[in-house]
C-alpha cells in the first residue's frame, strides 16, 4: 500500500526522505483502507519508518488489531537537493538537471540523491527479506510510490531508473504474489475503498 496523502502531497512538494505528516485527507484515506482490510489475516505487517507511512500503518493496524514493524529500508528514495521543492522551483534552481529529467527521467540526475542502483538494491533487499521471512500467507507493506514502482519493475523485468509507468495513488493497493517461486503482479493502484479517486502522482 502507498501511504495516505501527506501535507506535502497536497502542496505538490517533492518529499523523498523528508518527513511531512499525513494531511486530514490522508488520515481519512488510511482509515478507509483499514476498514477495507478489517477481518483479514496477515502473517506480517511492515511499514516505512517515515511519518506519512507510519501514521498510515498505525491507522490500518488499529482496524486490524496488529502493530506494524518499521523498516528503514522501505523508505522512499532519497532525492538530495530536490527534496522539499515544487517542480516549478526545480526548473529555476536546477535548469540543466531538470531539462534532462524532463527528456528522460533518471534518479541519477538528482543532485546529491541516492541514485538508481543504490535505491533498487535497497528495495530488492527489503523485499527479499520479507519474502524469506514469510514463505506463506499474506503480508501487508505500507510504503511509498517509488518503492512500489521498483517492486513492480522487478516483476515485469524492466529497470526503474525514474520512469513511472504505473500510476500509484495515495492509499492505493498493489498486489504481488509468489507462485511456485515466481513473482506475479495481480493488482495495481486499487483505490476502490476510497470515495473519490483524486490526486496526482508525486514522488514520495
Q: Domain coordinates of the chain in residue numbers?
A: 7-190
What pTM was estimated for this model as a whole?
Answer: 0.92
Question: What pLDDT is recorded for position 163?
Answer: 73
The CATH superfamily assigned to 7-190 is Phosphoglycerate mutase-like (3.40.50.1240)
The C-alpha cell 522539499 sits at 84
Catalytic residues: 3, 76
pLDDT of res. 24: 97
Q: What are phi and psi of 199, to 5 degrees?
A: 105, 155
What value does the mean pLDDT take over residues 193-198?
Answer: 66
The C-alpha atoms of residue 203 and residue 183 are separated, in whole angstroms, by 25
Average pLDDT, the chain: 92
39 vs 199, higher pLDDT: 39
Residue 28 CA to residue 25 CA, distance in Å, equals 5
Q: CA 72 → CA 48, 75, 77, 123, 144, distances in Å?
A: 6, 6, 11, 10, 12
pLDDT of residue 150: 94
Cβ atoms within 10 A of the Cβ of 115, count?
18
pLDDT of the residue at 31: 97
pLDDT, one tens digit per residue, over 124-180 is: 999 999 999 999 999 999 999 999 999 999 999 877 777 778 999 999 999 999 888
Asked whether 60 and 8 are in contact (CB, 8 A), the reply is: no
Q: Residue 163 burial by CB count (10 A; 0-12/13-18/19+): exposed, middle or buried?
A: middle
Confidence of residue 87 (pLDDT cuts 50, 70, 90): confident
Amino acid at each position: 500500500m502507498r501511504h495516505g496523502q501527506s501535507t506535502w502531497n497536497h502542496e505538490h512538494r517533492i518529499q523523498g526522505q523528508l518527513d511531512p505528516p499525513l494531511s486530514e485527507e490522508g488520515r481519512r484515506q488510511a482509515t478507509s483502507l483499514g476498514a477495507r482490510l478489517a477481518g483479514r489475516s496477515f502473517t506480517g505487517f511492515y511499514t516505512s519508518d517515515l511519518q506519512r507511512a507510519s501514521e498510515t500503518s498505525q491507522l490500518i493496524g488499529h482496524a486490524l488489531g496488529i502493530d506494524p514493524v518499521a523498516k528503514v529500508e522501505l523508505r522512499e528514495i532519497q532525492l538530495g537537493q530536490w527534496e522539499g521543492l515544487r517542480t516549478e522551483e526545480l526548473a529555476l534552481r536546477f535548469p540543466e538537471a531538470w531539462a534532462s529529467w524532463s527528456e528522460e527521467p533518471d534518479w541519477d540526475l538528482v543532485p546529491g540523491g541516492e541514485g538508481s542502483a543504490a535505491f533498487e538494491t535497497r528495495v530488492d533487499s527489503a523485499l527479499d527479506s520479507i519474502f524469506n521471512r514469510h514463505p506463506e500467507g499474506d503480508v501487508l507493506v505500507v510504503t511509498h510510490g517509488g518503492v512500489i514502482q521498483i517492486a513492480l519493475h522487478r516483476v515485469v523485468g524492466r529497470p526503474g531508473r525514474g520512469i513511472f509507468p504505473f500510476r500509484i495513488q495515495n492509499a492505493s493497493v498493489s498486489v504481488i504474489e509468489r507462485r511456485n517461486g515466481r513473482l506475479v503482479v495481480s493488482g495495481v493502484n486499487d483505490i476502490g475503498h476510497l470515495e473519490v479517486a483524486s490526486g496526482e502522482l508525486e514522488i514520495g
